[in-house]
Amino acid sequence: MRATIALTRFGVEKILEGIMKSGEDGMVEFSRHELSLLTQKAQGPCISVYMPAHRAGAEVRQDPIRLKNLLGEAETKLGESGLRSTQARALLEPARELLNDALFWRYQSDGLALFLSSGFFRYYRVPLEFDDLVVVTHRFHIKPLLRLFAGDGVFYVLALSQNDVRLLQGTRYSVNQVELENVPDSLADALKYDDPEKQLQFHTGASEGKGRRAAIFHGHGVGVDDTKDRILRYFRQINEGVQELLKDGQAPLVLAGVDYLFPIYEAANTYRHLISEGIPGNPEALSATDLHERAWSIVKPYFRKAQNEATSRYKTLAASGQASNDLKSILPASYQGRIEVLLVAVGVQRWGSFDPSTSVVQLHPAADPDSEDLLDLATLQTLVNGGTVFALEPGDVPGEALFAAIFRY
């Protein structure tokens, strides 16, 4: 079964899921639900492959060669784990089919992640740069994707104007447009009346300072209250599309538009992570790059504040028993859903094994066929059970540890 998921680049390459019948695709966001599916699909040897990818330039031609080499490394590791060469080649064949797929390589993001196990294949185009990494163990390795969930992770920009509605998905480094399903194309559609004699339009007036511009309405046959009501109903349609796409995600959402529209959209909004500060002005005059730059200046403090608050809370609670950086405490708690916040180091692994039935932790000096990254394991279980994860540089984790947890109880 070939599954294709493209985790857009700050919002644009569509995310395709393929755990359906062959040839069918559905739009999904990489969410806690997706993490849970990856966990459930772990059967037999699980191969996780990460590599950098490129959108243009000479490097694009090198990407298939890089993947070919990584798949060769995965085949070697499968052999070391006891799998026959014919079995290893069959397991990796779905990924090898991509090597000569010219269309596949034309539409890449900054990084490519592939997951294979018996009867299961899924790949993600992601707005993150990866180092080459191949992990073969009894479950999938997901820690390199952590930055999509916290820290300098994903955010969205919803640009509202009379002639266009755009949803952009971004990271700190990139931005792209995401298609909203079942949503009218423009705000002008919300202002059309069945009676063509009753028309009303709006435009932005002179600046009121600090980049804010007043919305001026003109027309006949209707009042401003009626106009607001029509815009509100239209924004509810947009909100439904946004809610369907983001679902249980935690990415912040920034509005861009004339100030008049902000409170109306806020009244329609049901997404919990809408940022109160928006990008004022008519977004039709701004490119995706311009919107990304302005939105990042808004969400950067949001990300940093949450991370700093979590670090401070950990230091306050460390002596109370409600926080710990001990593996023997954190791993069982992650399975039990007891971790509220996990601060984890990225770019490093701690190899070992854990038995959830006995809570026994064994550390291994190096990776072997029975090893798994215990940092990755605790992270996955924390996310699946509704906890919040912050991916930090190793030196930024409190107590000079590789991870630190705040417990719910």
> Looking at beta carbons, which pairs linking 270-273 to residues 24 or more positions away fall under 8 Å?
270/239, 270/243, 271/239, 271/242, 271/243, 271/246, 273/249
Write out the H or E segment, with its range, that includes residue 299.
helix 288-317
CATH number of 11's domain: 3.30.960.10
* Domain end marker among 147, 164, 184: 147
C-beta of residue 304 within 8 angstroms of C-beta of residue 150: no
The interaxial angle of helices 59-80 and 85-96, nearest 10 deg, is: 160
Write out the H or E segment, with its range, that includes residue 313.
helix 288-317
- In terms of domains, do 176 and 217 share one? yes
Q: Could you tell me if residue 174 is inside a domain? A: yes
Higher-pLDDT residue of 58 and 308 is 308
* DSSP single-letter state for residue 225: H
pLDDT digits (tens, 9 = 90+) for 77-135: 999 989 999 999 999 999 999 999 988 898 888 889 999 999 888 888 877 788 999 99
* Domain end marker among 90, 117, 147: 147
- In terms of domains, do 137 and 11 share one? yes
Q: What is the mean pLDDT of the chain?
A: 80
Q: CB-hemisphere CA count at 13 Å for 368? A: 8
Q: Phi/psi at 177 (nearest 5 deg)? A: -95, 140
3-state SS assignment for residue 282: coil
Q: Could you tell me if residue 262 is inside a domain? A: yes
- In terms of domains, do 160 and 282 share one? yes
pLDDT band at 33 (very low <50, low <70, confident <90, very high): low
- In terms of domains, do 362 and 285 share one? no
Question: In 285-407, where do the E strands start and end?
Answer: 323-324, 339-345, 351-355, 360-363, 372-373, 388-392, 403-407
pLDDT digits (tens, 9 = 90+) for 230-241: 889 889 989 999
Tell me the C-alpha distance between 191 and 202, whole Å.
9
C-beta of residue 252 within 8 angstroms of C-beta of residue 284: no
- Length of the chain as a residue count: 409
pLDDT band at 252 (very low <50, low <70, confident <90, very high): very high
CATH number of 227's domain: 3.30.420
pLDDT score for 207:
40
Beta bridge partners of 133: 50
Q: Is the dihedral of CA 232, 235, 237, 242 positive or negative?
A: negative
Q: Could you tell me if residue 313 is inside a domain? A: no
From the number of C-beta atoms within 10 Å of its C-beta (0-12, 13-18, 19+), residue 15 rates as: buried
The letter for the amino acid at 137 is: T
* Domain end marker among 98, 113, 147: 147
CA distances from 308 to 103, 188, 315 (A): 43, 43, 11
Tell me the C-alpha distance between 56 and 41, whole Å.
33
pTM, to two decimals: 0.59
Mean pLDDT for the stretch of residues 382-398: 85
- In terms of domains, do 168 and 133 share one? no
Tell me the C-alpha distance between 242 and 236, whole Å.
10
Mean pLDDT for the stretch of residues 282-286: 92
CATH number of 392's domain: 3.30.1330.30
Q: Could you tell me if residue 311 is inside a domain? A: no
| Closest C-alpha among 131, 126, 133, 168 to residue 148 | 126
- In terms of domains, do 134 and 170 share one? no
Tell me the C-alpha distance between 66 and 61, whole Å.
9
User: What is the secondary structure of 62-121 as a DSSP string?
Assistant: HHHHHHHHHHHHHHHHHHHTT--HHHHHHHHHHHHGGGG-HHHHHS--SEEEEEEETTEE
- In terms of domains, do 178 and 294 share one? yes
From the number of C-beta atoms within 10 Å of its C-beta (0-12, 13-18, 19+), residue 375 rates as: buried
Enter the tokens of residue 205.
């007036």
pLDDT score for 223:
54
Q: Could you tell me if residue 326 is inside a domain? A: yes
Q: Could you tell me if residue 312 is inside a domain? A: no
pLDDT score for 92:
97
- In terms of domains, do 214 and 115 share one? no
pLDDT score for 6:
34
Please report where in the chains the tokens 């999509």 appear, as a residue.
148
Q: Could you tell me if residue 385 is inside a domain? A: yes
* Cβ count near 352 (within 10 Å): 20
- In terms of domains, do 222 and 239 share one? yes
pLDDT digits (tens, 9 = 90+) for 127-163: 778 899 999 988 888 878 766 665 556 799 999 987 8
- In terms of domains, do 214 and 262 share one? yes
Q: Which domain holds residue 345?
A: 318-407
pLDDT score for 109:
81
Mean pLDDT for the stretch of residues 5-32: 32
pLDDT score for 16:
28
pLDDT digits (tens, 9 = 90+) for 181-195: 778 777 676 566 444
pLDDT band at 312 (very low <50, low <70, confident <90, very high): very high
Q: Could you tell me if residue 323 is inside a domain? A: yes
- In terms of domains, do 159 and 143 share one? no
- In terms of domains, do 237 and 260 share one? yes
User: What is the secondary structure of 316-329 as a DSSP string?
Assistant: HHTTTTSEE--HHH
Q: How many domains does the chain have?
A: 3
